[in-house]
Structure 1
Amino acid sequence: MIDQWLFYLLAVPVVLLVGLSKGGFGGGLGSLAVPVLSLAVDPRLAAAVLLPILCSMDLVSLWSFRGQWDKRNLKIMFPGAMLGLALGAAMFTYMDANMIRLMVGLMALYFVGHYLWGRHILQRVAVQKASVVRGSFWSSIAGFVSYIAHAGGPPISIYLLPQHLPRTLFVGTTVLFFSVVNFIKLVPYVAMGQLDLSAFVTSLVLLPLAPIGVRLGVFLHHRVSDTWFYGVCYLLLAVAGLKLVGESVLVWFGG
């Protein structure tokens, strides 16, 4: 089991925040978890610890939003996601810890940028319908980054948000999509030894926080402003992303 105090100091609020996000705010904060925890441990270990916790959150979220999802979009998105997961698993084998740290940091900064400018751009985009081409592309990106860093939320948002789905339908669709993706990820994570006994025991220690965060997110679904909630969380993501990129660059250039 991980015994670093800094890891748990970061992990407790991170698990609660991700649970809040999955329970009531579209699940976009999966992109927060791995970058922040990578400040304390290897990003591969951070991703492994988080996966069983995310799966348990998915079960609670599925029950909370049962039946409230867009079937047409899901039929489009699942094949692309499977392709992205396969590519992520294949590439993961050849990456060292510093390369993954750099990738996670760059993802974090990109997602912060998408959050800051995405809403402004969205206001100027005409309402779009479900699209096989766009849905397949963005879901494959989501599958890839989800495998590497559980960060598939922003690519899926890029695809779904222009459709202006009702808020509950949007959240329910993302809940079902990432539930399937996360449970499928368990297979290669275990097969390649990424989810070992140490990571699994650490997951069990943090697991009681998962349903608390999700249920709190469901409760706050119509009570807390998305802008306030995500503003604070993406500030944390920006700090983590800058630190990870900076550390990776220093390692490679002999700092």
Structure 2
Amino acid sequence: MPELPVYAWVLLGVAALIVGFSKTALPGVNTVSIAIFAALMPAKQSTGVLLVLLIVGDIFAVWTYRRHANWAALLRLAPAVVGGLLLGVLFLALADDSSVRRVIGVILLLVVAVTVWRRWISQGSGSVAGSRLASVGYGSLGGFTTMVANAGGPVMSMYFLAARFPVKEFLGTAAWFFAMVNVAKLPLSVGLGLVTWESLVLDLVLIPGVIAGAFFGRWVASRVPQRVFEVGVLVVTVLGAGWLLV
């Protein structure tokens, strides 16, 4: 167990709550958890601890929204996501923490801009989810960002938002997507030394917070209007990108 002051344990507990909440209510807000973990722990250690907590959150998200996934969209994304994950492994082996954060921040801001343009300004009537180019672009970026910093949530949120998914279909598709991707990342992270026995002990302490956040998020998601949900996704994505650039 790491020797941390009381305030640090409190913040880690809050971050665990946010992980669970993001999985069942507002994907993208998990960037706040990434910031807290990165500020309180060494970068590699924080990534490994957070990955296991994300998988716990994925279990509750899949259980909650298991019947609402858009499997056609997930299948279109799969090849590009695999490529992005492998590219992320290579990037992690070569880049420093500062470079990783700034690259992802720039990517997120570009993704937000493109998504808003396609969703509200473009006159085209076709769904982004049905575009091969969009599937390759978002899928590869999602795989890359989730591998290097557990920050794939905002990228994929933009894809699902641009696809005009209703709230529950959005959350169900995101739940299955990240459940499969995070499990696939686990052996890669172990091989890179990101997940260790020490990090797993810390995870055991923080998992109750993830569970509490997941149940609270489930309650919120059943009551939030579609428009409020979409604006919330955009806002937390922009804020997360801004933090990564600072």
Counterpart CA distance in 2 for 1:238 and 1:141 is 14
CA distance in 2, matches of 1:207, 1:64: 18
Gaps (5+ residues) in structure 2?
Answer: none
- Aligned CA distance change for structure 1 residues 84 and 235 (closer, same or farther; 3 Å): closer
Pair 1:128-2:129 in alignment: no
For 1:13, give the aligned amino acid. V
Aligned pair in 2 of structure 1 residues 114, 84: CA closer, same or farther (>3 Å)? closer
Shift in alpha-carbon separation, 1:121–1:145, aligned structure 2, 3 A: same
Cα distance, 1:222 vs. partner? 3.2
Q: Does 1:226 align with 2:229?
A: yes
The residue number in structure 2 matching 1:58 is: 58
**Stretches of structure 1 lacking an aligned partner (at least 5 in a row):** 246-255
Question: In angstroms, what is the RMSD of aligned CA positions?
Answer: 2.7
Give the secondary-structure state (helix, strand or coil) at the position aligned to 1:38. Answer: helix
Taking the TM superposition and a 5 Å limit, the aligned residue runs for 1:208-247 are 208-224=208-224, 225-226=228-229, 237=240, 240-241=243-244, 245=246
- CA distance in 1 between partners of 2:192 and 2:88 (Å): 13
Structure 1 length-normalised TM: 0.82
Going from structure 1 to structure 2, the CA distance change for 1:109 and 1:223 (only over 3 Å counts) comes to: farther
Change (3 A) 1:153 1:75: same
1:96-143, Cα deviation, whole Å (9 max, x unpaired): xxx213422553476468669955763213443312221022111100
Deviation at 1:14, TM superposition (A): 1.7
Structure 1 position 200, deviation (Å): 1.4
Query: C-alpha offsets along residues 179-233 of structure 1, whole Å, 9 cap, x if unaligned?
Result: 1000111011112221112211111110111111111101100334437866885
In structure 2, the CA distance between the partners of 1:239 and 1:164, relative to structure 1 (3 Å rule), is closer
Verify the 8 A CA contact 1:35 1:43 in the aligned structure 2.
no
Contact 1:76 1:131 in 2 (8 A): no
Equivalent in the alignment of 1:173: 173
**C-alpha distance in 1, partners of 2:201/2:177?**
26
Q: Secondary structure at the match of 2:94?
A: coil
Q: Is the 8 A contact 1:143 1:152 kept in 2?
A: yes
Report if aligned partners of 1:78, 1:177 keep a CA contact under 8 Å in 2.
no
Identity percentage over the alignment? 25
Q: Deviations over 1:144-175 (max 9, x none)?
A: 11011111122223323222122211111111
